[in-house]
Structure 1
Amino acid sequence: MCMWTRAGLKNRAKEVVRANYWKTVLSALILSLIAGGLYSAGGAQNSSSFLEGTGDYGSYHFFGEMGISPMFAAMAIGVVLVVVLILIVVALVVNIFLINPLVVGIRRFFYTNLHEKAEIRELAFSFDHSYKNAVKTMFFRDLYTFLWSLLFVIPGIVKSYEYRMIPYLLAQYPDMPMEQAFETSRRLMNGNKWKAFVLDLSFILWFLLSGITGGLVGLFYVQPYFEQTSAALYDAITIERPVFGGMGPGSGSFQAWNGQQGYQEYGQNPGSKAMDAGYTPVGNDPQQNKTPSGETNETQG
């Protein structure tokens, strides 16, 4: 049974953002920059537009007015194609090795911010904790979502919601194996995908207002508000369905890591399932602060 409500998550997010306003704004700004800057008009998109231009007016300019040879035109187009390819490769490399780990760090910032005033240093979390695991897991998350999107738009959207909790899981358990991260995210989002979609949809007017104001409202309110609400969603779902609640000696997941070092939860007192699995707390655990009163605050409008 789902206990969280949209109103409850949003109210909690507003209170948290107000309590640590400027740091949430800065974190949301960094997220917006890394999400949009890499694929801005200055990158491959611009090169693509230039290439399109050479197909009509450009060809007339080459062959008609100036009388440039077809060989020179073909060479010019080839150079543009090579530049576009290089830009795409660079964009992919930056996305895989820089942006995705930063996204995990940003998710950690907003998750931690629910329970205490988070510090900006949380954004670099993945670079210091199981960086390779974060890179690999986030890469395959993006790859699987892309491949599902090739079938049709809707399967891609469904999968993006199914994998939605992976960055939060890596933020809390950085050495969680990729397979376990996917499995856990599926379990957490089972029955919650549509509700999460409606939650996102409820921000549409805010994003329209942000567009009308040239992004100012988005920068100083909407983006921090949205990101904090998303973190509150993860927090609420993991209260109802503990991350390790479904693990036991009989499960394949348990057998996969039983007898090994175990994941490290970056907190003070992980739950009993995590303790049984050998998790080592080495930091502040937001989960410890989840009290019945906290749950009540989430579910109230």
Structure 2
Amino acid sequence: MYWSRPLLKDNAKKVLSGNYWRVFAVCLLTSLLGGNFKFDFNFSTDQWNSFRYDYSLSGLFGSLVFGVFSVLFVVGLLWSIFVSNPVEVGQNRFMMENRAGFPPVESMFSAFRGKEQYLNVVKVMFQLRLEIFLWTLLCFIPGIYKSYQYYYVPYLLAENPYMSYSRAKELSIAMTNDEKMEIFVLDISFFGWLFLGAMLCGVGVLFVIPYQQATYAELYAAARTKAFALGVTGPDELADFTRY
């Protein structure tokens, strides 16, 4: 394995040293736009069913509330597809660029720079969320497994926004091979920090996200090194965030 949790977190702290507040601003803006709090298909369906069965309203008022919730559901879904997902990809690009310097905040909107790459990012991220959701319908465990198998798809899009979904999946599968459990453990290792942040009326979570995202950037950098070493990709496909 090309990484360890202590090494990733130590590198993340070094990257954030003297640059924390710029990263915080980007992560905060991403959170406000929904990129750090994903509008999950499964979550949305549960919310919908909860409304339908737990709140049995009747008459004109019930129809009105049902209509409002229907509109909010559709708007939330469209916002997730066309705004939140591309912003998430852009944040990943900013975090990777931040490892080597001081990128402009505008990097978080990199997915919106051109029509062709924007539409491809929207399409691939939609396919990703939909496939994981469909696997989750079979059983919760397959959904979790697939989410870790395709863990690097948003980062691959951040580096190459023209990459197809099938190719991004192929690379992510190779990059997560024999490491999915370690990535899961890395995820839950932030639980203590997030819990403490939640105790501060939830506001403290916002101060943990930059550290979390910086660590994930280090994780992708290690996975990228692994992919190059295995010969499954190269600089023609992954240009180290300098091409686009």
| Same-fold status (TM-score > 0.5) | yes
Cα separation, 1, equivalents of 2:10 and 2:124: 32
1:262-277 equivalent positions in 2, closer than 5 A:
271=235, 274=236
Once the two structures are superposed, what CA deviation does each residue of 1:218-260 show, in whole Å capped at 9, x if it has no partner? 222x11000110111000111122298225xxxxxxxxxxxxx
For residues 45 and 30 of structure 1, the distance between their equivalents in structure 2, rounded to whole angstroms, comes to 25
Distance apart, 1:121 and its partner CA: 0.6
Please say if 1:148 is aligned against 2:138: no
Q: Which amino acid aligns with 2:188?
A: L
| 8 Å CA contact 1:104, 1:168 repeated in 2 | yes
For residue 158 of structure 2, the aligned residue among 158, 161, 171 is 171
Equivalent residue, structure 2, for 1:295: none
What is residue 205 of structure 2 aligned with on the other side? 218
CA distance in 2, matches of 1:167, 1:243: 21
3-state SS of paired residue (1:101):
helix
Matched with 1:234 is 220
| Correspondence for 2:3 | 4
Residue deviations 1:244-289 (CA, integer Å, cap 9, x gap): 8225xxxxxxxxxxxxxxxxxxxxxx73xx2xxxx6969737xxxx
TM-score normalised by length of structure 1: 0.70
Q: Tell me what 2:98 maps to.
A: 113
- The answer as to 2:52 corresponding to 1:94 is no
**Aligned letter for 1:14?**
K
> 1 CA distance for matches of 2:70 and 2:150?
29
Tell me the distance in 2 between the aligned counterparts of 1:244 and 1:92.
38
Judging changes above 3 Å, is the alpha-carbon distance between structure 1 residues 174 and 38 closer, same or farther for their aligned structure 2 residues?
closer
Equivalent residue in structure 1 for 2:121, among 124, 128, 134: 134
Query: Which structure 1 residue ranges, 5 or more long, are not aligned?
Result: 59-72, 248-269, 286-301
- The list of structure 1 runs, each at least 4 consecutive aligned residues, that deviate by more than 4 angstroms after superposition, is 35-39, 44-51, 279-283
What is the one-letter code of the residue matched to 1:205? Answer: G
Structure 2 equivalent of residue 292 of structure 1: none
1:36 positional shift? 4.4
Between Structure 1 and Structure 2, whose CA radius of gyration is higher? Answer: 1
Cα displacement (A) at 1:153: 1.5
Rounded Cα–Cα distance in structure 1 between residues aligned with 2:221 and 2:185: 18
Relative to the length of structure 2, the TM-score reads 0.86
Per-residue deviation, 1:31 = 2.8
Contact 1:51/1:80 (<8 A) preserved: no
User: Over residues 72-107 of structure 1, what are the superposed CA-to-partner deviations in whole Å (9 max), with x where a residue is unaligned?
Assistant: x43432332222222111111111111111010001
- 1:41-95 CA deviation, whole Å, 9 max, x = no partner? xxx9699669844x3xx6xxxxxxxxxxxxxx43432332222222111111111
SS in 1 for 2:17: helix
For residues 227 and 238 of structure 2, the distance between their equivalents in structure 1, rounded to whole angstroms, comes to 21
Does the CA contact (< 8 Å) of 1:184 and 1:243 recur in 2? no
CA distance in 1, matches of 2:5, 2:84: 29
- Structure 1 residues 167, 282: CA separation in 2 closer, same or farther (over 3 Å shift)? closer
Distance 1:186 1:242 in 2: 14
Partner of residue 78, structure 1 = 63
Name which of structure 1's ranges 29-38 and 185-194 shifts more when overlaid on structure 2. Answer: 29-38
Superposed CA deviations along residues 195-225 of structure 1, whole A, max 9, x for unmatched, are 10011111111111011112343222x1100
> In 2, distance between residues paired with 1:281 and 1:126?
16
Alignment size in residue pairs = 234
- Is the Cα contact below 8 Å between 1:148 and 1:159 reproduced in 2? yes
Q: RMSD between aligned alpha carbons? A: 2.8
Change (3 A) 1:46 1:188: closer
